[in-house]
Structures are given as structure tokens and as C-alpha cells.
Structure 1
Amino acid sequence: MVDLLAAESSNDLIKVVPGLMIWTLIAFAITFFVLKKFAFGPIQKTIDDRRDRIRQAVDEADNARNEARELLEQNRAILGQARSESADILAEARKVADAQIDRAKQEAETERQRRLEDTRKQIEAETTRAIGQIRSEVADLTIEATERVVGKVLDAEDQRRLVQEAVQGLDFSALEGSKS
């Protein structure tokens, strides 16, 4: 009996009933027409709008990526230029520093030479003054020795003659030679 019921129920589902088929086709056509008129258009429009927005967003992303690349290249170029300029500035600063050091050395050498020359002149002046003092002392000693030996006071003419003879007889070349 179960077999019989199963066979009957399965037969009803696969039976071709022309009236049911026509009503099914009419319902499908009406549903399709309503969906096409009211649903498919707006759905398709929404899908097209979304596709356009996605395409536009992708294009904007590509443009942004290209702009970012350009900016990165510009930054790299600017960074390279800044490095080059900093190297030039450092080189120039080194040149200026070297020039200042050389100038300071030259000024120090010039000052040293000037002081050395001033010292030489002072030594020469002191040597000349000392030799003059020694000559004066020798003359005074000669006069005094002559007065003691001769036993009389000499007049100015005799003193001058004796001093000149005594001074000419002395060798001051050792003192004068040390100044040159």
C-alpha cells in the first residue's frame, strides 16, 4: 500500500496538466514583466552606478599612486640636490677655514719677523750704547792711569789726543762682530 501511495503521488507531480502549465506561464510572465519594469531597471542602474564608482575609485587610486611616485621622485631629487648643496657648502667652509688659517699663519709670521727685527734693532742699539759706554770708561781709565803715571794733570788737548790713541789701540771687533 505504501508503494501504491508513493506511485500515485509521484505520478501527480510529473503529470502534464495543460491548464496548470498555462497558468504557471502566465504568472511567470506577469512576474517577469513586473520585475523587469520595476526591479531589474533600478537594480541594473544600481549595479552600473556601483561599477562606475568602483572604476572611478580605481582610476583615482591609480592617479594618486602616480602622483605619489612623482612626489617621491621629486623628494629624492630635492634630497640629492640638498646633499650636493651641503657638500658644496662644506667644501666652501673648508676652503674659507683653510684660507683663514693660512692668513693667520702669515700674520703670525709677519708679526714674528717684525718683533725679531725690533729685537735686533734694540740689541744693536744696546750694543752700540754699551760700546760707547765702554769707550768712555776706557778713556776715563786711560786719563786716570796717565795722570798717575805722569803725575800731572793734562790739559784738554792732551787728554783728547791720549784718549783717541788709546781707543784706537783697543780691539772692539769682538763686540761689534757679535751684533751681526
Structure 2
Amino acid sequence: MGLLENFSSGLFIIQSLIFIVLIFVLKKFAWKPILDALNEREVTIVDSLNQAKLAKQEVQNLKAENENIIREAKVERDNILKEAREIKDRIVGEAKDLAKAEGDKMIEQARQSIQAEKSAAMSDIKSQIGTLSVNIAESILKQKLDNDGAQNALVENILNNTNLN
């Protein structure tokens, strides 16, 4: 058993030395690059998460900004519609006022025309009545004044009435 024990303890020592050399080689050539890669990957993941948070925050900011823009656009639209209604009402009111003024002007012109025609007709009627009255009076006087005595009485009557007035 002595040999087996020496062999086993020598094997143990060789295996231990190989293991230590293997750990040293792995540490120098494999462990450090693996840890560096893991650290680099961790940094990349953290950066990606930070960028995702920033992107999410930016999306929320854009969403809030869009809502503000939409709200402002609605207010602007309402103001434009209100202004358009006011302009329409003002134009319609002005058109009504203008139409009323034109209508009143036309009515007044028609009244003046009617009054002028009425005055002309009355003047014409008065002239015709005057002419007719003179003709009738002339006829009556011709009949009544056929003799000289009636003519003298009429002249005296006119003279007396003229002095009294």
C-alpha cells in the first residue's frame, strides 16, 4: 500500500498543481475576458434600460405636447367659428339695414311721386272746374242778362258788395 499511497499522493499533488495552473491560465486568459464581457454587457443593458426610460418619458412628453396642441387647436377653431358667426351676423345685419334703408327710400320716393301726381291732378281738376264754372256762369249770365235792366241791377249789386268787403 505504500506505493499506492505514494502514487495517489503524488497524483494528488500533480492534479492539484495542474488545477492551480489551470485556474491561473483560466484567470489570466479566460476569466478576465469573460468578466469584462459580462461587465460590458451589464453596462449595455443598463444603458439600454436608461434609453428606454428616456424614450418612454419623451413619448409621454410628446403625448402631453400633442394633447396641448390639440386643445389649443380646438380653442382656436372655436374662436374662428365664433368670429365667423359674428362676421356673418354683422354682414346679414348690414344687408338688412341697407335693404330697409333702400326700401324706405323707395317708399318715400313713391309717396313723393304720388303726392306730386295728386297735386298735379288736383291742379288739373281745379283748372277744369274753374273753366267749367266760368263756362256755366257765362251761360247763366247770358240767359239772365238778355235785357239791359237785369244787367244794370247786376252791376249795382256787384258794386255794393265790393264796397262792403
TM range (shorter): 0.7 to 0.9
| 2:103 pairs with 1:103 | no
| Cα deviation code 1:111-149 (max 9, x no counterpart) | 111111111111100000000111111122223333444
Moved more, 132-141 or 80-89: 132-141
| 2:35 pairs with 1:44 | yes
Q: For residue 89 of structure 1, what is the aligned residue in structure 2?
A: 80
Runs of 5+ unmatched residues, structure 2: 1-6, 144-165
| 2:122 pairs with 1:128 | no
| Cα deviation code 1:75-119 (max 9, x no counterpart) | 111110111111011111111111111111111111111111111
| 2:30 pairs with 1:56 | no
CA displacement at 1:60 relative to structure 2: 0.9
Aligned alpha-carbon RMSD (Å): 1.7
How many angstroms apart in 1 are the aligned matches of 2:8 and 2:104? 134
Runs of 5+ unmatched residues, structure 1: 1-15, 153-180
| 2:8 pairs with 1:17 | yes
Paired positions, count: 137
Q: TM-score, normalised by structure 2?
A: 0.77
Q: TM-score, normalised by structure 1?
A: 0.71
Q: For residue 137 of structure 2, what is the aligned residue in structure 1?
A: 146
How many angstroms apart in 2 are the aligned matches of 1:147 and 1:106? 60
| 2:121 pairs with 1:116 | no
How many angstroms apart in 1 are the aligned matches of 2:131 and 2:120? 16
Structure number with the bigger relative contact order (C-alpha 8 A, sep ≥ 6) is 1
Give aligned-pair identity as a percent: 31
Judging by fraction of residues, say which structure has more helix: 2
